[in-house]
Amino acid sequence: MTRAYNFSAGPAVLPESVLRQAADEMLDWHGSGMSVMEMSHRGKEFMSILAQAKADLAELLNLPSNYKILFLQGGGVGMNGIIPMNLLGNKKSIDVVNTGSWASKSLKEAKKYAKANEVATSEPQHYTCIPPRDTWKLDPDAAYVHICSNETIGGVQYHWVPDTGSVPLVADMSSDILSRPIDVSRYGLIFAGAQKNMGPSGMTLVLVRDDLLGRALPITPNAFDFKQQADNDSMLNTPPTYAIYIAGLVYQWLKKQGGLAAMEAHNRKKAALLYDLLDATPFYTSPVARSDRSLMNVPFTLPTEELTTAFLQGAKERGMVQLKGHSSVGGIRASIYNAMPIEGVQALADYMKEFAAHHG
Ligand code: PMP
């Protein structure tokens, strides 16, 4: 068996040891005689898996005691509607900082529920940077301020936490959750789909501050009412049990790697291999402002479409897959999430150097 170096933006590479453990436990989890997929979500076996996953996640994040962990469904796209329904309360407006594809989608969806204001945008810069905080036109009476901490398509990432005063900050961390330590107390709510840094798709993590619970609009579906889900330990409906189990194994793997600080150091090393090469090689273009470059998704372009196609073909022949940039921006995108080993990034950097020397 040969595993490819998988640079997919998501669903994405998972730690091999996690996949091996899941394979070992597939037919009989810990002597239960059942696969995790076959267990009642309310049975003692799955309840223990859920409790362990929550405890490990809280430890990794150093989660303050006034935050709830919810394992829901709906994905990032679902959350774009679910969050306004839950947090609007008696407010009228929502502030959104538009940094690219994903923040744009959040803005558009929020408009169904509220007056959603685009308080800053990097659209004139083709979404290649984060608008500086002092240009944001925030409404002090907004229900919350929405940011996307890492734009998966554009490869733009916040390397600072915006101060929004008493207005809660909501962050879509779908593509950089658990890639570095965060101060959760700076946020009112954090959400993330699992399928990049945590596990398979199907599970959506929500971390929410207690005081933001209980404001849901009456039309909010019960399954997506954060207060009801918090009161029921994410068990108001059947949770995505298998995805939670895999995420739990990933949390244990992260602890073994030394936690989020160690992960950040590793991720910085990996990203530097690519960015240093991009900066040193005029053949390639890296579109993103240096200060806002993502440590998770590294987009770059080659001089022509033909060279891009040849590059992807050569990469595939060398066991490096899913490098094609998103159709909306083209070019190449290397997603180098937590589980991408440094050897994979080194192999890509070596190939990029060779390709540029040959074609440049
Ligand atoms: N936000 C970000 C930053 C994403 O990268 C994605 C998925 N690529 C989403 C939201 C949407 O997630 P989903 O497809 O799980 O709804």
Full 3-state SS string of the chain: CCCCEECCCCCCCCCHHHHHHHHHCCCCCCCCCCCHHHCCCCCHHHHHHHHHHHHHHHHHHCCCCCEEEEEECCHHHHHHHHHHHHHCCCCCEEEEEECCHHHHHHHHHHCCCCEEEEEEECHHHCCCCCCCHHHCCCCCCCCCEEEECEECCCCEECCCCCCCCCCCEEEECCCCCCCCCCCHHHCCEEEEECCCCCCCCCCEEEEEEHHHCCCCCCCCCHHHCHHHHHHCCCCCCCCCHHHHHHHHHHHHHHHHCCHHHHHHHHHHHHHHHHHHHHHHCCCCECCCCHHHECCCEEEEECCCHHHHHHHHHHHHHCCEECCECCCCCCCEEEECCCCCCHHHHHHHHHHHHHHHHHHC
328: its two tokens? 């909306």
Q: Tell the residue nearest (CA) to atom 11 of ligand 1.
A: 76
How many angstroms separate the first and last alpha carbons of the chain? 35
Cβ-proximal residues to 141 (8 Å cutoff; 6+ apart), any chain: 91, 92, 93
204 C-alpha to ligand 1 centroid (Å): 10
Residues tagged in the binding site annotation for L-glutamate: 42
**Residue 295 · residue 179 · CB < 8 Å:** yes
Q: Which atom of ligand 1 is nearest to the CA of 195?
A: 15
- State both tokens at 279: 């900066």
Residue 1: its pLDDT value, please?
Answer: 73
**Ligand 1 midpoint to CA 76 (Å):** 5
Q: Which domains does the chain have, with CATH numbers?
A: 17-256 (3.40.640.10), 259-359 (3.90.1150.10)
Q: The tokens of 61 are what?
A: 């994040």
Distance 75 CA to ligand 1 centre (A): 7
187: left (phi over 0), alpha (psi -120 to 50) or beta: beta
Pocket test for ligand 1, best of 72, 73, 77 (most atoms within 8 A of CB): 77
Return the ligand 1 atom nearest residue 74 CA.
16
Q: Please tell me whether the overall predicted TM-score, pTM, comes out greater than 0.95 for this model.
A: yes
**Per-residue pLDDT at 275:** 98
Q: What is the pLDDT along the chain (360 residues), one digit of tens a residue?
A: 789 999 999 999 999 999 999 999 999 999 999 999 999 999 999 999 999 999 999 999 999 999 999 999 999 999 999 999 999 999 999 999 999 999 999 999 999 999 999 999 999 999 999 999 999 999 999 999 999 999 999 999 999 999 999 999 999 999 999 999 999 999 999 999 999 999 999 999 999 999 999 999 999 999 999 999 999 999 999 999 999 999 999 999 999 999 999 999 999 999 999 999 999 999 999 999 999 999 999 999 999 999 999 999 999 999 999 999 998 889 999 999 999 999 999 999 999 999 999 998
Pocket of ligand 1 (CB under 6 A): 10, 75-77, 102, 148, 152, 172, 174-175, 193
In ligand 1, which atom is closest to the CA atom of 9?
A: 8
Determine the atom of ligand 1 nearest the C-alpha atom of 201.
Answer: 15
CA 325, chain centre distance (Å) = 17
| Residue numbers belonging to the annotated binding site | 42, 102, 152, 172, 195, 237-238
| Whether the predicted interface score ipTM is above 0.95 | yes
Question: What does each C-alpha distance from 24 to 30, 47, 49 come to in angstroms?
Answer: 10, 20, 16
Position 33, amino acid: G
Determine the distance separating the centroid of ligand 1 and the alpha carbon of 275, expressed in angstroms. 24
Instruction: Output the CA 172–ligand 1 centroid distance in Å.
Output: 8
Query: Token digits for 168?
Result: 């809660």
Distance CA 81, CA 78 (A): 6
Task: Say how far apart CA 311 and CA 324 lie, in whole Å.
Answer: 10
The residue whose C-alpha atom lies closest to atom 4 belonging to ligand 1 is: 174
Could you give the residue numbers annotated as active site? 102, 172, 196
Token readout for 164 is: 């929004």
Give burial (CB, 10 Å; 0-12/13-18/19+) of 301: middle
The residue nearest atom 15 of ligand 1, judged by CA position, is 75
The dihedral over CA atoms of 225, 242, 10, 334, expressed in degrees to the nearest 10, equals 130
Residue 55's identity, in one-letter code, is A
Number of C-beta neighbours around residue 291 at 10 A:
11
Residue 72 region by backbone torsions, left for phi larger than 0, else alpha for psi between -120 and 50, else beta: beta
The whole-angstrom separation of Cα 78 and Cα 205 is 12
